[in-house]
């Protein structure tokens, strides 16, 4: 017999609310990386270095050379809904940044130990603060300290999910998490060709010797004065002109290999004439038959054969059109540029 005793409604503790909310945004290290990378792009960085230990569960560190954070803002940096990107609701209509809700750093700080070192161009020194559950460890007055540091921001996330044991247990293989991290870094690198992104992992730290392995290293675009063509190196994927296309193709080659990058077909479509869509699309797609061995190829071929079997059963064997179209979409490296 079910217990029909009426239970009273109580307001949840803020820490519980924040931890639940954080768990919905950050499921694994690669989610945290996405948020931190987006902040680095929003800060107009030209160089971003990622360092990973144990698949990002022990350490996920991102150093950028962007605008930095004002030391006066460090006190509220990791509180929920604190942002420099939005003030009033109407601002959403013209937002040009990846982030705007002020939830990412707060979420990360509720499920890990987060350390920020930041230096703005006009400051002679950097500032450092550690955060737990959205608050500066040691309090705002003594927890924010001066230190040496480069222009830009370094975010270090340590011991992810130390306070959510079931999440931590669910993440079994550091190598799988690292692959997810590399995947996120690679995709953002393609979308932001011209910004240098490095992804490295600590492979062993036996005794005093630490071995670090570099798995992704893309190049920074030359400064505008030396660049030929229209190479702004800007973040939002709005590259145009031969130089930007060349550097995008180079990054695609670094991420997906030469076979894929050599077989790409460029496409561009201006859908502005369709007033409902108001969008321009440009990107690359490949045939999907170009990477016969290795990760991407295997995953793709699996997807393609699933699609072919679905469309085949729907169309009694004659469904090549649909699967062909879909696998081209899946294989594409696309850049969407929204206009208006
Ligand atoms: P959002 O990006 O939605 O504003 P976040 O929690 O991701 O929220 O970041 C909060 C604020 O912290 C940002 O609005 C930005 O002002 C600042 N910030 C975070 N990361 C960086 C960074 N790498 N460089 C400069 N400012 C940053
Ligand atoms: Mg953000």
- 162 and 268 in a single domain? The answer is no
Quick check: 124 pLDDT over 50? yes
Q: What is the mean pLDDT of residues 60-70?
A: 98
Most confident of 153-167, 232-246, 254-268: 153-167
Q: Which long-range contacts (C-beta less than 8 Å, at least 24 apart) are formed by 246-253?
A: 247/193, 247/194, 247/219, 247/221, 248/190, 248/193, 248/335, 249/284, 250/193, 250/218, 250/219, 251/189, 251/190, 251/193, 251/218, 252/190, 252/284, 252/333
Judge if 20 and 160 occupy the same domain. yes
- Among the listed residues 267, 270, 266, 194, the one whose alpha carbon sits nearest the alpha carbon of residue 230: 194
What is the span of the domain harbouring residue 285?
257-312+321-331
Signed CA dihedral, 283, 193, 234, 96: sign only: positive
Residue 67 CB–ligand 1 contact under 6 Å: yes
In this predicted model, what pLDDT tens digit does every residue of 296-319 receive, in sequence order? Answer: 555 555 655 665 565 454 444 443
The answer, yes or no, to whether any atom of ligand 1 lies below 6 A from the CB of 136, is no
**pLDDT for residue 13:** 94
CA–CA separation, 280 and 128 (whole Å): 42
Please indicate, yes or no, if residue 248 is contained in any of the structural domains: no
Residues 245, 266: Cα–Cα separation, whole Å = 10
* 2-16, 202-216, 218-232, 238-252, range with the lowest pLDDT: 218-232
The band of 321, judged by pLDDT with boundaries at 50, 70 and 90, is: very low
Q: Which of 136-140, 220-224, 257-261 has the lowest mean pLDDT?
A: 220-224
Q: Give me the mean pLDDT over the 32-36 stretch.
A: 98
Contact 113, 132 (CB under 8 A): yes
Ligand 1 neighbour 43 (Cβ under 6 A): yes
270 in a structural domain: yes
* pLDDT band for position 66 (cuts 50, 70, 90): very high
Nearest protein Cα to ligand 1, atom 18:
39
- Residue at a domain's end among 156, 188, 218: 218
CA–CA distances in Å: residue 154 to residues 51, 88, 223, 262: 11, 29, 23, 36
Same domain for 27 and 146, yes or no, is: yes
- pLDDT exceeds cutoff 80 at 330: no
pLDDT band for 277, please (50, 70, 90 cuts). Answer: low
pLDDT tier at 266 (50, 70, 90 boundaries)?
confident
Q: Is residue 174 part of a domain?
A: yes
Pick the range with the lowest mean pLDDT from 258-262, 313-317, 319-323: 319-323
Whether 109 and 184 share a structural domain: yes
Mean pLDDT to the nearest integer, 148-152: 97
Q: How many domains does the chain have?
A: 2
| 119 and 173 belong to one structural domain | yes
Residues 6 or more apart whose CB falls under 8 angstroms from that of 306 comprise none
Q: What is the pLDDT of residue 210?
A: 85
Identify which of 340, 214, 218 has the alpha carbon closest to the alpha carbon of residue 278.
340
Q: Quick check: is 232 in a domain? A: no
Same domain? 197 vs 263: no
pLDDT band at residue 74 under the 50/70/90 scheme: very high
Mean pLDDT, the chain, as a whole number?
82
Ligand having the closest approach to the CA of 77: 1
Convert 260-283 to b/e letters by CB count within 10 Å (16 or more is b): bbebbeeeeeeeeeeeeeeebbbb
Q: Give the lowest-confidence range in 59-73, 211-225, 271-285, 290-304.
A: 290-304
111 versus 260: which is more confidently predicted? 111
Q: Alpha carbon 91 to chain centroid distance?
A: 23
- For residues 136 and 82, the answer to whether their CB atoms sit within 8 Å is no
Q: Are residues 205 and 269 in the same domain?
A: no
Q: What is the mean pLDDT of residues 67-89?
A: 96
Q: Is 76 in the pocket of ligand 1 (CB under 6 A)?
A: no
Write the residue with the smallest CA distance to atom 11 of ligand 1. Answer: 83
CA of 78 to the centre of ligand 1 (A): 9
Q: Is 66 in the pocket of ligand 1 (CB under 6 A)?
A: yes
Residue 285's pLDDT band (cuts 50, 70, 90): confident
Residue 163 reports pLDDT greater than 90: yes
Which ligand neighbours the alpha carbon of 119 most closely? 1
Q: With 50 as the cut, is the pLDDT of residue 61 above it?
A: yes
The structure tokens 């969407």 sit at 336
Q: pLDDT: is 314 or 1 the higher one?
A: 1
| CATH number of the domain where residue 83 is located | 3.30.565.10
What tokens were used for 52? 């990973």
pLDDT value, residue 148: 97
Confidence of residue 225 (pLDDT cuts 50, 70, 90): low
| Start-end of H helices in 43-173 | 104-111, 139-143, 165-170
User: Are residue 20 and residue 76 in the same domain, yes or no?
Assistant: yes
**Res 161: pLDDT:** 96
In a domain, 203, yes or no: yes
Q: Is 310 in the pocket of ligand 1 (CB under 6 A)?
A: no
Tokens of 20: 């639940």
Residues 207, 290, single domain; the answer is no
Which residue, by CA, sits nearest to atom 15 of ligand 1?
Answer: 84
Of 193, 218, 243, the residue that ends a domain is: 218
Return the percentage of the chain with pLDDT > 90, whole number: 59
Query: pTM for the full model?
Result: 0.82
**Ligand number with the minimum distance to the CA of 86:** 1
Residues 211 and 272 in one domain: no
Distance 102 CA to ligand 1 centre (A): 7
Is 43 among the domain residues?
A: yes
Do 138 and 287 fall within a single domain?
A: no
User: What distance in angstroms lies between residue 39's CA and the mean position of ligand 1's atoms?
Assistant: 5
- Tell the residue nearest (CA) to atom 8 of ligand 1: 102
Query: Residue 93 falls within a domain, yes or no?
Result: no
Residue 248 contacts residue 193 (beta carbons within 8 Å):
yes
pLDDT band (50, 70, 90) for residue 258: confident
Is 249 a domain residue? no
The helix (run of H) or strand (run of E) holding residue 243 is: helix 242-256
Ligand 1 atom closest to 155 (CA): 23
Look up residue 286 and give its DSSP letter. -
Q: Say what the pLDDT of residue 223 is.
A: 74
Ion ligand 2: residues, Cβ under 5 Å: 39, 99, 104
C-alpha to C-alpha distance for 288 and 105, rounded to whole angstroms: 38
What's the pLDDT score for residue 232?
38
pLDDT (average), residues 186-198 = 94
Considering the domain architecture, whether residues 213 and 284 belong to the same structural domain is answered as: no
Domain end, chosen from 161, 190, 218, is at 218
Which atom belonging to ligand 1 lies closest to the Cα atom of 101? 3
């Amino acid at each position: 017999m079910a217990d029909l005793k009426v239970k009273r409604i109580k307001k949840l503790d803020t820490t519980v609310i924040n931890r639940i909310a954080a768990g919905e945004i950050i499921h694994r290290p690669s989610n945290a990386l996405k948020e931190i990378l987006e902040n680095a792009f929003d800060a107009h960085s030209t160089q971003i270095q990622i360092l990973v230990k144990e698949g990002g569960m022990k350490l996920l560190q991102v150093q950028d050379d962007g605008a930095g954070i004002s030391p006066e803002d460090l006190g509220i940096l990791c509180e929920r809904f604190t942002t420099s990107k939005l003030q009033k609701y109407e601002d959403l209509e013209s937002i040009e940044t990846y982030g705007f809700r002020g939830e990412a750093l707060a979420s990360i700080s509720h499920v890990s130990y987060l350390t920020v070192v930041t230096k703005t161009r006009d400051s002679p020194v950097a500032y450092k603060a550690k955060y737990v559950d959205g608050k500066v460890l040691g309090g705002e007055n003594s927890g924010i300290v001066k230190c040496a540091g480069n222009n830009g921001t370094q975010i270090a996330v340590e011991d992810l999910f130390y306070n959510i044991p079931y999440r931590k247990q669910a993440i079994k293989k550091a190598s799988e998490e690292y692959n997810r991290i590399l995947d996120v870094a690679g995709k953002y690198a393609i979308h932001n060709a011209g910004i240098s992104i490095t992804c490295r992992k600590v492979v062993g730290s036996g005794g005093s010797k630490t071995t670090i392995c570099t798995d992704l290293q893309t190049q920074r675009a030359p400064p505008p004065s030396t660049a030929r063509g229209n190479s702004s190196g800007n973040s939002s994927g709005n590259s145009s002109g031969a130089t930007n296309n060349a550097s995008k193709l180079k990054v695609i080659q670094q991420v997906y290999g030469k076979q894929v990058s050599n077989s790409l077909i460029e496409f561009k479509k201006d859908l502005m004439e369709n007033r409902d869509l108001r969008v321009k699309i440009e990107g690359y797609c490949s045939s999907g038959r170009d990477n016969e061995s290795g990760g991407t190829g295997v995953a793709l071929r699996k997807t393609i054969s699933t699609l072919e079997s679905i469309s085949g059963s729907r169309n009694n064997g004659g469904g090549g059109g649909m699967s062909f179209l879909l696998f081209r979409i899946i294989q594409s490296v696309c850049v969407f540029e929204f206009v208006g």
